[in-house]
Chains A and B, each alone.
Chain A
Amino acid sequence: MSVAVGSKPSPSEDLRNLTLSGHVGFDSLPDQLVNKSTTQGFCFNILCVGETGIGKSTLMDTLFNTKFEGDPASHNEPGVRLKARSYELQESNVRLKLTTVDTVGFGDQINKEDSYKPIVEYIDAQFEAYLQEELKIKRSLFNYHDSRIHACLYFIAPTGHSLKSLDLVTMKKLDSKVNIIPIIAKADTIAKNELHKFKSKIMSELVSNGVQIYQFPTDEETVAEINATMSVHLPFAVVGSTEEVKIGNKMAKARQYPWGVVQVENENHCDFVKLREMLIRVNMEDLREQTHSRHYELYRRCKLEEMGFKDTDPDCKPFSLQETYEAKRNEFLGELQKKEEEMRQMFVMRVKEKETELKEAEKELHEKFDRLKKTHQDEKKKLEDKKKEIEDEVGAFSKKKAAVQLLQAQQAGSQSTKKDKDKKNSSFT
């Protein structure tokens, strides 16, 4: 889808109005545009929100006159999930890529507080995908398959009284993100008089709760009238059926009851035809445009503001895209560098800490060993002293011993001489 371009120039520009003196031929421009769109094919995405069994699939089948695949869902889903299916349809020479998104399990849980969340997430995800594509450096928007939801059919249960609180909560969450078209489902269970009251109740509840539903555009003369007349009948009470019943001499889509036949395309029986007119034949393009120029732009604006983008700097001078990106990038790089520095600093500190710790331990160790060494020295000295002592003693003893021995030897010697003398002497006698 191309970017929204307008051509109503500001009156301040020097614009001359000129008359043509003949047929130039640019009145074919709308045809050129239409030809291009037709060749490319159109694309439309509908989201159906409603309780299990309320008739979403049947209505889709009826609206698009074809049997879409899919088995009916059970009531046992643990949460709400969205199922999207795409179909290629063709009517005369117009090709339409239709995507129907179903909310499976909606309204089945006991606690329905978070029921709306998967729906909002899905819608946002489609916007996000488009935004990402739009922001790419090398992008191809003209053949991008647009998956954004263009219309949300909200199925209201035909209680006949009022909206359920789940309905109000969900619609309130969705009204700024998607075009909501509320419809009363299974309208063949409401009698005509009750229906009118039901519709007014619903509309007033929507207004009093500030729910913004899709407004059929009334600014173009060609469609203003029909849109205005149809708007009076909102919300449309619809009946869906893919079965055909013989009415008169024609086969028509209807539901057969013992008390009569509800004809889907009979405007007295239900508003199906009105819904088809409004949704498809008259306003399909407007729904797409609103999605792109209002809902998507809002999403984009919020997202960009979240990321810190502004249109003007503090001095109110407009930023060019390049400046913005450069500024962001520099900021980003600065941030990264700071983180790196921080981490390094932390490590340096730890290293220092540990170093001091270890140094302390080392010092302690040295001190311990110095002490031990000293003790050892003392011991050694004591030992030395003792040794000396012993040696002195031994030395003294030896000397003494030696002296005594000498003395003894002398004595012995003299004695022996004496004895010898005696012996000698005695021998003479």
Chain B
Amino acid sequence: MIERPDSSSASIARNLEGYVGFANLPNQVYRKSVKRGFEFTLMVVGESGLGKSTLINSLFLTELYSKDYPGPSQRIKKTVQVEQSKVLIKEGGVQLTLTIVDTPGFGDAVDNSNCWQPVINYIDSKCEDFLNAESRVNRRMMPDNRVHCCLYFIAPSGHGLKPLDIEFMKRLHDKVNVIPLIAKADTLTPEECQQFKKQIMKEIQEHKIKIYEFPDSEDDEDSKVIRKIKEKMPLAVVGSNVVIEVNGKKVRGRQYPWGVAEVENGEHCDFTVLRNMLIRTHMQDLKDVTNNVHYENYRSRKLAAVTCNGVDATKTKGQLTKSPLAQMEEERREHVTKMKKMETEMEQVFEMKVKEKKQKLKDSEAELERRHEQMKKNLEAQYKELEEKRKQYEEEKMSWEAQQRILEQQKLDASKTMEKNKKKGKIF
């Protein structure tokens, strides 16, 4: 439902002493809007023969549908078509470009599955056009061709909604303002009508169909009127542009042998209620709800699909509050931080590995050094040992040799003495 503006903030408004002049603002707005002109797109949907064309002609008091421009029931196609006709009407200085969209062939086939699809496609394509126009770099005055209201005609069976009715309204209620109408209400007696209405509203609630809701008003008078309208939903209408004289008065109505069903008589049908609500009081609100609710829903769905690429739902919730570009900016920043982190991590791993390798190298170098030292020491020890041995040997050798020399000397001396003694003849 549209968020109605918070009017409680008026309590702190200052009242001005003396004339300023901005009380003239509403007049300025009025002037400008009249200069711009107004547009409205109204869609009528229902099976053929329910009086749609007659009702439109009655609502706008003009021959929108005529012999030259036949209504949808006269233009039955094999498949459901969605066609529009644009008319320009002026009243009291106000210019209105009215677009009536109708759906010849709706509900008339034997198999009506998906007959709502062309309607949905039409509504979406108008939203798409508006979205593209709104998103251009160079924007100009954009025509608003979005469907502002869809009048759905229910056949006056007197029993309840048909499955097609329920299906259609369920599929369209979150795309467009749906106003269900009971067509050809002059075939129902007031009691039957009352019963029928109750049954329809019950079914609408059961199926959770969201039909167009009138906004509540602050004004008490307006609120009463609105409540009365709400009780009459769905409105039962009769259409006719044929003027008949009843009791001296000229009225529009349908002439029967048993009397005249007056179109603008509140006791005969709800036509006046519909006209007042649709045209005189709530036309602007229908446009606002279309712009602020239905179009925004379409837009956010479309853009979310682009940017989120169907990632998990929990993530998308937060992303929806940003524009896709802001989101890309954020993603970019996230990515930068991620890259920085990755870089530091990689750097760390790199450093660590290098350190490891270097350490290993150092260790193996140390190990080899150590071993080499040890071997060297070993060798040195052996050397020393050898030196010792040699020294010992040398000493031994020297002492032995010395000894030998002494012995030799002794021997020599002894033999010399012996020789002497021999010579002396003492020994034989």
Contacts and interface: CB of A to CB of B under 8 A. Distances in A.
B214 interface: no
Interface stretch (B31-39, B101-109, B173-181, B205-213): B31-39
Contacts of A139: 296, 300
B325 A24 contact: no
B86 interface: yes
B319 interface: yes
A114 interface: no
Contact of A20 (B17, B61, B389): B61
A36 B25 contact: no
Contacts of B313: none
Contacts of A322: 302-303, 305-306
Given A321-B131, A383-B379, A358 B357 contact: yes
A29 B94 contact: yes
A21 B241 contact: yes
Interface string A82-99: 000001111111111000
A42 B90 CA distance: 29
A305 interface: yes
A339 B38 CA distance: 52
A220 B5 CA distance: 31
Given A7-B37, A142-B288, A301-B137, 14 more contacts: A15-B97, A23-B61, A27-B94, A33-B284, A34-B26, A41-B5, A65-B18, A89-B14, A89-B22, A90-B13, A277-B21, A311-B137, A340-B342, A386-B386
A21 to B, nearest CB: 5
B134 A21 contact: no
Contacts of B86: 9, 13-16
Interface string A2-45: 11111111000111111111111111111111111111111010
A372 B372 contact: yes
Contacts of B94: 26-27, 29-30
Contacts of A96: 22, 25
Interface in A370-418: 372-373, 376, 379-380, 383, 386-387, 390, 393-394, 397, 401, 404, 408
6 contacts: A16-B69, A20-B60, A20-B89, A91-B22, A322-B305, A394-B389
Contacts of A223: 31
Given A24-B91, A137-B320, A39 B14 contact: no
Given A40-B5, A321-B132, A325-B324, A95 B32 contact: no
Contacts of A19: 62, 89
B326 A132 contact: yes
Contacts of A305: 137
A23 B26 CA distance: 25
- Classify chain B: how many residues form its interface, as a range: 35 or more
B135 to A, nearest CB: 4
Interface stretch (A48-56, A156-164, A200-208, A282-290): A282-290
A143 B142 CA distance: 21
Q: Indicate the member of B325, B326, B396, B397 with the most A CB atoms within 10 Å.
A: B325
A24 B97 contact: no
B141 A8 contact: yes
The 10 A-B residue pairs with the shortest CB-CB distance, nearest first, are A135-B323, A6-B141, A27-B92, A281-B21, A285-B28, A32-B284, A321-B135, A90-B13, A25-B280, A7-B39
B413 interface: no
Interface in A311-335: 311, 318, 320-322, 324-326, 328-329, 332
Contact of B62 (A18, A40, A42, A143): A18
A309 interface: yes
Given A14-B86, A29-B283, A325-B307, A5 B39 contact: yes
B390 interface: yes
Interface of B: 3, 5-7, 9-10, 12-26, 28-40, 59-64, 69, 85-97, 128, 131-132, 134-139, 141-144, 218, 241, 275-276, 279-285, 288, 291-292, 296, 299-300, 302-307, 319-326, 328, 331-332, 335, 339, 342-343, 346, 350, 354, 357-358, 361, 364-365, 368, 372, 375-376, 379, 382-383, 386, 389-390, 393, 396-397, 400, 404, 407, 427
A125 interface: no
Given A7-B97, A422-B427, A18 B284 contact: no
A332 B5 contact: no
A361 interface: yes
A304 B135 CA distance: 10
A81 interface: no
Contact of A88 (B9, B37, B87, B365): B9
Query: Which of A40, A63, A325 has the most chain B CB within a 10 Å cutoff?
Result: A325
A329 B325 CA distance: 9
B339 A343 contact: yes
Given A15-B97, A289-B32, A394-B393, A329 B306 contact: yes
A144 B96 CA distance: 28
A5 B382 contact: no
B71 to A, nearest CB: 15
B278 to A, nearest CB: 9
A255 interface: no
Nearest to B390: A390
A343 B393 contact: no
Interface residues of A, number: 125
Interface stretch (A172-180, A233-241, A347-355): A347-355
B376 A376 contact: yes
A340 B332 CA distance: 12
Contacts of B23: 91-94
Contact of A26 (B91, B319, B379): B91
B29 A27 contact: no
B279 A137 contact: no
B339 A339 contact: yes
Contacts of A354: 350, 354
A397 B397 contact: yes
Contact of A137 (B91, B128, B319, B375): B319
A347 B354 CA distance: 13
Interface in A210-246: 220, 222-223
B29 A33 contact: yes
Interface in A264-292: 276-277, 280-286, 289
A384 to B, nearest CB: 9
Contacts of B321: 136-138
Contacts of A24: 59-61, 89, 91, 275, 279
Interface string A40-81: 111010000000000000000001111000000000000000
B88 A18 contact: yes
Contacts of A422: 427
A427 to B, nearest CB: 15
A376 B61 contact: no
Contacts of B332: 332, 336
Contacts of B22: 42, 44, 89, 91, 94, 96, 280-281, 284
